[in-house]
Structure 1
Amino acid sequence: MSRPGSLSQTPNPALGPGEVPDDSAFLDRLADRLAGLPGVEAVSLGGSRAQGTNRPDSDWDLSIYYRGTFDPQDLRDVGWPGEVAEVGAWGGGVFNGGAWVHVEGRPVDIHYRDLNSVEHELAEARQGRFRTERLMFHLAGIPSYIVVGELAINQVLRGDLPQPSYPEALRENAPKVWWSLAELTFGYAADGHAAQGRLAQCAATLTVAMSYAAHAVLSARGEWTTNEKTLLSRAGLSGLDDILTDFTPANLPDACEAARALADSARSAG
């Protein structure tokens, strides 16, 4: 989960005047410090930096994997400025907490990952099973297999972690679940909001429905999703932006039909 806002920048104590940051050396120092926390068995790099799509100002997203218990106070005691949440503070599900801190002047997001939970979700995904959980900033919520996708996509920096391929059973079942959610939500946007001219609620409901549809398209392809930032564009559904551009109370029913047609087109193409 990305930080809701940036902390004020702090100077990098590892650099002298005019020196350019060394990303590799920084990451080594950061991984070593996190791996040394009590109970931590592995550390991985995620987000845009793991996939090579980062900007120079992108955050550093890391996950720490522990078995059974982890005490956030050990992370606070490192002394990095920022916020360190308790385990379970971010919903209490698979995405069970973390920290937003600055390390050597750089913004770093740290996610807690319970290995017992992760291994359970991996086994569930291999059987085609998952559930959705609410998580702040995620319109469609998150699938419980998000932590499995992290194993597949992230770069392991310390320790040993499995790197699973996309399970065929999940690829078969997940689209059915997501399309069912999408269809029901498209229907409610039209019948529950568009018919009454509720502009904001209709737009919001259509966006949620399209997010479900995007999850359906990507799971049918066997593509992992670890956040919603590029969800619609990856699924070929960013045309929703154009539909919502001329959104007015008078054309809500037509907009709902157009949004549903866009989703149906992506479904057929997939």
Structure 2
Amino acid sequence: MERLVEIAGRLAEVGGVVGVCLGGSRARGTHSPDSDYDLGLYYRPPLDTGALRLLAAELTEREVDMTEPGGWGPWVDGGAWLTIDGVQVDWIYRDLDRVRRIWRQCEVGQFEVGTQPGHPLGVYSYAYVGELALGRILADRGGELAALRQEMQHYPQPLRTALIANARWEVPFILAAARKGAARGDAFYVAGCLFRAVGLLTHALHAHAERWVLNEKGAVRAAGTLPGAPADFAVRAHALFGVAGTDSLAARLDDAEALQREVLRRLSD
């Protein structure tokens, strides 16, 4: 950790960088021995990517492929995958003014879902808030990250209400649409509907428990441990995707509808 703090301090000296935060499983204490270290570089344009390249090359002792902002897509933004002292360390850009704007939207129950490679359900905008709220600040020259993170320690009730309401109408709607696909033997369409339905229930369960969802990875399993979730939520949800052909599509939808009824009933408690 001392080495990470040292690196974060040097990153904070780069033009445009406001602060650095350790994120991901390492920040939450849920990591495995081979987990990467994710460093969020919170910045305001213009970001001096030239200086970042020089620092990365010095730390890794080789030339580094460092993107410009937006180089990894509209939501992941940009950065670099590095190996420092034999350890995987990812530098990930986060536009601080955008994070602030999304936080204000969350406070009034607004969110958006963006398309991003590697995120089949899409990136929910409030993941930016969760990253900072759950992260560990390593460098913060003016104290701005700490002040904003303190605000984010309460989960906005308007956002909670909006996510639960979204699941209430869309999950039954999309499962009804899946029924039509099942009647045509359209396994591809049905699988997509099931994936979205489970994703919506997962986000709603997290919102009900006032917990942040950062991405799809591990989210279903985590939802199953939350207060308000059926005890076997994760097992039942994962079982929906064991469809080998079209013969069992209707049965899978029966299971999905039973699961959504139980979850939505529990969200009313």
TM-score range, shorter chain: 0.7 to 0.9
CA contact (8 A) 1:139 1:208 kept: no
C-alpha displacement of 1:48: 0.5
| Partner SS state of residue 77, structure 1 | helix
- Which residue, 40, 60, 63 being the options, matches 2:40? 63
| Cα gap change, 1:66 to 1:210, in 2 (>3 Å) | same
- Is 1:205 the counterpart of 2:193 in the alignment? yes
Structure 1 window deviating more from structure 2 (113-122 vs 227-236): it is 227-236
* Amino acid paired to 1:212: L
| Cα gap change, 1:246 to 1:166, in 2 (>3 Å) | same
Corresponding residue for residue 9 of structure 1: none
Corresponding residue for residue 169 of structure 1: 158
CA contact (8 A) 1:179 1:212 kept: no
Structure 1 window deviating more from structure 2 (69-78 vs 111-120): it is 69-78
| Cα gap change, 1:176 to 1:248, in 2 (>3 Å) | same
CA–CA separation in structure 2 for the residues paired with 1:230 and 1:178: 19
Partner deviation per Cα, 1:117-166 (whole Å, 9 max, x = no partner): 11111111111111111122222212111111112100111113122121
Percent identical residues: 33
Corresponding residue for residue 248 of structure 1: 245
Structure 1 window deviating more from structure 2 (170-179 vs 216-225): it is 170-179
RMSD: 1.9
Corresponding residue for residue 69 of structure 2: 87
CA–CA separation in structure 2 for the residues paired with 1:85 and 1:187: 43
C-alpha displacement of 1:43: 0.5
| Partner SS state of residue 184, structure 1 | helix
CA–CA separation in structure 1 for the residues paired with 2:46 and 2:264: 42
| Partner SS state of residue 249, structure 1 | coil
C-alpha displacement of 1:39: 1.3
* Amino acid paired to 2:214: T
CA contact (8 A) 1:190 1:253 kept: yes
Any unmatched runs of 5+ in structure 1? 1-23
| Partner SS state of residue 4, structure 2 | helix
CA–CA separation in structure 2 for the residues paired with 1:128 and 1:152: 17
CA–CA separation in structure 2 for the residues paired with 1:97 and 1:257: 42
CA–CA separation in structure 2 for the residues paired with 1:133 and 1:210: 18
| Cα gap change, 1:178 to 1:26, in 2 (>3 Å) | farther
C-alpha displacement of 1:199: 2.5
CA contact (8 A) 1:127 1:170 kept: yes
Corresponding residue for residue 216 of structure 1: 204
Q: TM (normalized to structure 2)? A: 0.83
- Which residue, 1, 12, 29 being the options, matches 1:35? 12
CA–CA separation in structure 1 for the residues paired with 2:85 and 2:91: 15
Corresponding residue for residue 21 of structure 2: 44
CA–CA separation in structure 2 for the residues paired with 1:235 and 1:220: 10
* Amino acid paired to 2:177: Y
Structure 1 window deviating more from structure 2 (77-86 vs 252-261): it is 77-86
* Amino acid paired to 2:163: A
* Amino acid paired to 1:230: G
| Partner SS state of residue 244, structure 1 | coil
Corresponding residue for residue 108 of structure 2: 127
* Amino acid paired to 2:66: V
* Amino acid paired to 1:76: R
C-alpha displacement of 1:25: 2.4
Structure 1 window deviating more from structure 2 (26-35 vs 226-235): it is 26-35
| Cα gap change, 1:179 to 1:138, in 2 (>3 Å) | farther
| Partner SS state of residue 64, structure 1 | strand
CA–CA separation in structure 2 for the residues paired with 1:244 and 1:68: 43
C-alpha displacement of 1:246: 5.2
CA–CA separation in structure 2 for the residues paired with 1:98 and 1:138: 17
Partner deviation per Cα, 1:204-263 (whole Å, 9 max, x = no partner): 331222112211221122110112111111222422222333543111012112112212
